[in-house]
Amino acid sequence: MNPSATEAVNVTDKPGQRRGKGWLLLVPGMLWLLMFFLFPTVQLFFTSLYDPSGSFEQGYAMTWHFQNYADAIKETSDLFVRSFLYAGITTLVCLLLAYPLAYAIAFKSGRWKNVMLVLVIAPFFTSFLLRTLSWQAILADQGPVTGFLRALAILPDDGRLLATPIAVVAGLIYNFLPFMTLPLYASLDKVDHRLIEAAGDLYSSPFTGFRKVTLPLSMPGLVSGTLLTFIPASGDYINAELLGTPREYMLGNRIQSAFLVEQNYPLAATLSLSLMLLVVVMVILYIRRSGTEELV
């Protein structure tokens, strides 16, 4: 804020001259990244430039066909938009649901804390696929939920939940809620209750205290929670596949069918990389904006 303060900070932050072999600690991580991130990404990048007129049977020739990107994005722009829209709604709703939940677990659950945490992660004990399949049954046209909503005239008599955008987004929300809840909980649990008392002592109403103290202190959890939700949700295809129709399909569906059904590797690689790139850009912008780097 003022120049002398920044100077003062640097005094405490002396670069370690004696670190010596410290970089060795980076080796396992670097190797890991190399093997499981860099290597596949480079592969994917090359694959995305194959001649699109090849086929799995005849092989794909490397023609450095950058045009693939323009073609793919033009062809699937609606899927990109829909993926980010669904992922965005999912993230927002997850945040609205998970924040009070994490807050209650961190501050109000008392001796039930561990039980509640186990309940939050309990869905992970069954597979993602099975859980989504059971949502198929829950939301089925002849199922209890649909029947109930029809009885209340919230849904028209021939209305349905399954195979609608609502079902897809609900499935996404359900599946990613723990990814939002856990980091939020971890952050909130670390918030010293005495700080909230101190805010109250300093003329903050409970709401202002929340806004000025609890919320900023939970930002790291909020940011990681939204990332952990948004990133996988934008690439998800299981929910759209099982709970939606082709009209709800997301980019992930196209990628999976390009990879696994058509074996159109250049298209699949192009779409995967484009999605990755877009997400990375969004994440960087988001982190910049939320200013998490400055948080303690």
Partner 1 sequence: MAQSDGEQRSGAPRDLHLTEVSKRFGDFVAVDDLTLTVPEGAFFALLGPSGCGKTTTLRMVAGLEDPTAGTVSIGAEDITGLKPYKRPVNTVFQSYALFPHLTIFENIAFGLRRRGVKDVKRQTDDMLRLVQLEQYGGRKPAQLSGGQQQRVALGRALINEPGVLLLDEPLGALDLKLRRQMQLELKRIQTEIGITFVHVTHDQEEAMTMADTIAVMNSGVIEQMGAPTELYENPRTTFVANFLGQSNLVSTDVVDSSGSTVIVDCHGQKVGVDESRSHTDQGKGWLGIRPEKIFASQRDSEDLEDGNQLTGGVVSDVSFVGVSTQYLVRMPWGQELMVFEQNTGQRQSFKSGDEVDLAWSPQHSFLLDADQDAAAGAVREDVG
Partner 2 sequence: MSKPLSSQVSRRGFMRGASLSALAVGGSGLLASCGTEGAKVEEGSCESTDKSESEQEVSFSNWPLYLDPIKAKDTSTLEKFEQVTGIAVSYDTDVNDNLSFKAKVAPQLQACKSTSRDVFVLTDWMAAQMIELGWLQELDHANMPNVDANLLDSLKSPSWDPERKYSVPWQSGMTGIAYNAELTDPVTSFQQLLTRPELKGKITLLTEMRDTMLFMLLMQGADPEDFTDDEFSNAIAELQKYVDNGQVRRFTGNDYTDDLKQGNVAACEAWSGDIAALGNPKFKWLAPEEGISLWSDNMLVPNLAEHKTNVEKLINFYYEPVNAAKLAAWNYYFCPVKGAEDEIAQFDKSAVGNPLIFPAEDMLSRGYTFMGLDATQDKNYQAQFNQVQGG
Which residues contact partner 2 by CB under 8 A? 13, 15-16, 19, 22-23, 26-27, 30, 34, 38-39, 42-43, 46-47, 50-51, 54-63, 75, 78-79, 82, 136-137, 140-143, 158, 160, 162-163, 244-250, 253-254, 257-265, 293-294
- Closest Cα partner for 210 from 79, 81, 107, 83? 107
DSSP at 108: I
Residue with Cβ nearer partner 1 (12 or 17)? 12
Answer yes or no whether residue 6 interacts with partner 1 by CB under 8 A.
Answer: yes
Sole binder of partner 1 in the list 101, 199, 258, 275 (CB under 8 A): 199
- Closest Cα partner for 229 from 88, 78, 108? 88
Task: Give how far Cα 295 sits from Cα of 14, 38, 218, 223, Å.
Answer: 20, 29, 10, 11
Answer yes or no whether residue 202 interacts with partner 1 by CB under 8 A.
Answer: yes
54 binding partner (options partner 2, partner 1, none; Cβ < 5 to 8 Å by kind): partner 2
DSSP state string for 218-269: THHHHHHHHHHHHHHHHH--HHHHHH--GGG--HHHHHHHHHHTS--HHHHH
Answer yes or no whether residue 77 interacts with partner 1 by CB under 8 A.
Answer: no
Q: Which residues contact 124 (CB under 8 A, 6 or more apart)?
A: 178
70 binding partner (options partner 1, partner 2, none; Cβ < 5 to 8 Å by kind): none
Least gap, CB of 122 to partner 2 (angstroms): 25
Answer yes or no whether residue 211 interacts with partner 1 by CB under 8 A.
Answer: no
Least gap, CB of 58 to partner 2 (angstroms): 5
Q: Is residue 239 within 8 Å of 168, Cβ to Cβ?
A: yes
The whole-angstrom separation of Cα 269 and Cα 259 is 8
Least gap, CB of 113 to partner 1 (angstroms): 21
Answer yes or no whether residue 204 interacts with partner 1 by CB under 8 A.
Answer: yes
